[in-house]
Chains A and B, each alone.
Chain A
Amino acid sequence: MTSQNPAADHLLPVDPQSGSPLDPRRQPGYYPGFSTLDQRAFWDAATRQTVMDRVEQVPAIRFFDGGEAATMQAICNRILPQDDRDPERRIPVLNYLDNRLYSGMSDGYRYEDMPADGDAFRLGIQAIDEISVHLHAKRFTELEMAQQEEVLETIHDAHPPAGGNIWKRMPVDRFWLLLVQDIAAAYYAHPWSWDEIGFGGPAYPRGYVRLENGKAEPWEKDEQRYEWEPPPGARSGGYRPVGGGRPHHAPPGQSGTH
Chain B
Amino acid sequence: MREPIFGRFDPPRSSDHLLGPVQRLKTPMRHYRESEEVDVCIVGVGSAGGVLLQRLSRAGLRVVGIESGPFWDVERDWVSDEAGSHKLYWNDLRITAGANPITLGENNSGHGVGGGSVHWAAFAPRFHPSDFHIYELDGVGVDWPFRYDVIRPYYEMLEREMPVAGPARFPWGYPHSYPYGPHPSAGVGDVLIKGCTKLGIPVVAGGPVAILSGSYGDRQHCIYRGFCIQGCKVGAKQSTLYSHVPDAVACGAEIRDRSMAARVNLRPDGLVSGVTYFDAAGNERHQRCKLVVISGYAIETPRLLLNSASPGHEKGLANSSDTVGRYLMVQAGNVILGRFPQLIRLYKGPPAHALTEEFYETDPRRDFARGFAVQTVGPLPIAFAKQMMVAKGAWGWGLRKVMMDYNHWATLGLLGELLPWADNRVTIAEERDGHGLPVAKVTYGLKENDKKLIEFGKRKVMEIMSAAGAEEVVQEARYAHLIGGARMGDDPDTSVVDRFGCSHDIPNLFCCDGSILPTQGSANPGLTIQSLAARTANYIIAQSDRLSQGLRGLPEEPPIRHDLSPPGTYQRGIPRIPWPARQS
Binding site for B on A (CB under 8 A): 13, 28-30, 38, 40-48, 50-51, 54, 78-81, 84, 105-113, 149, 152, 156, 177, 180-181, 184-185, 187-189, 193-194, 196-200, 202-208, 210-216, 219, 223, 228, 230-231, 234-242, 246-258
Contacts and interface: CB of A to CB of B under 8 A. Distances in A.
Contacts of B12: 45
A207 B223 contact: yes
Contact of A249 (B100, B185, B344, B377): B100
Interface in B40-68: none
B382 A188 contact: yes
Interface class of chain A by DSSP = loop
Given A47-B81, A204-B223, A238-B398, 8 more contacts: A106-B92, A110-B95, A184-B382, A189-B382, A230-B397, A248-B451, A256-B107, A256-B229
B477 to A, nearest CB: 5
A232 to B, nearest CB: 11
A204 B2 contact: no
A158 to B, nearest CB: 11
B411 interface: yes
**A-B pairs with the 3 shortest C-beta distances?**
A236-B396, A108-B105, A214-B343
Nearest to B186: A211
A204 B234 contact: yes
Q: Which of A47, A79, A219, A247 neighbours the largest number of chain B CB atoms within 10 Å of its CB?
A: A47
Contacts of B401: 228, 230, 237
B485 interface: no
B107 A44 contact: no
A41 B2 contact: yes
Contacts of A29: 404
Size bin of chain B's contact surface: 35 or more
B11 interface: yes
Interface stretch (B82-90, B241-249, B260-268): B82-90
28 contacts: A28-B400, A41-B9, A45-B10, A79-B395, A80-B399, A106-B105, A109-B93, A110-B93, A184-B385, A210-B348, A211-B186, A212-B185, A213-B342, A219-B1, A235-B396, A242-B390, A248-B100, A248-B454, A251-B390, A251-B476, A254-B383, A255-B383, A256-B119, A256-B480, A257-B121, A258-B333, A258-B377, A258-B480
Q: Which of A198, A213, A246, A256 neighbours the largest number of chain B CB atoms within 10 Å of its CB?
A: A256
Interface in B378-415: 378-387, 389-390, 392-404, 406-407, 411, 413, 415
B105 A184 contact: no
Contact of A47 (B79, B184, B379): B79
B104 A108 contact: yes
B386 A181 contact: yes
Contact of B395 (A47, A180, A198, A228): A180
B345 interface: yes
Interface stretch (B70-78, B490-498, B558-566): B70-78
Contact of B382 (A51, A54, A255): A255
A173 B123 CA distance: 33
Contacts of A193: 381, 403
B80 A43 contact: yes
B9 A45 contact: yes
Contact of A239 (B102, B104, B394): B394
A81 B396 contact: yes
B399 A184 contact: yes
B342 to A, nearest CB: 6
Contacts of A204: 80, 223, 225, 227, 233-234
B84 A50 contact: yes
Given A50-B84, A149-B396, A258-B524, A206 B390 contact: no
Contact of A247 (B79, B104, B387, B477): B477
Q: Which of B90, B382, B394, B397 neighbours the largest number of chain A CB atoms within 10 Å of its CB?
A: B397
B183 to A, nearest CB: 9
A205 B393 contact: no
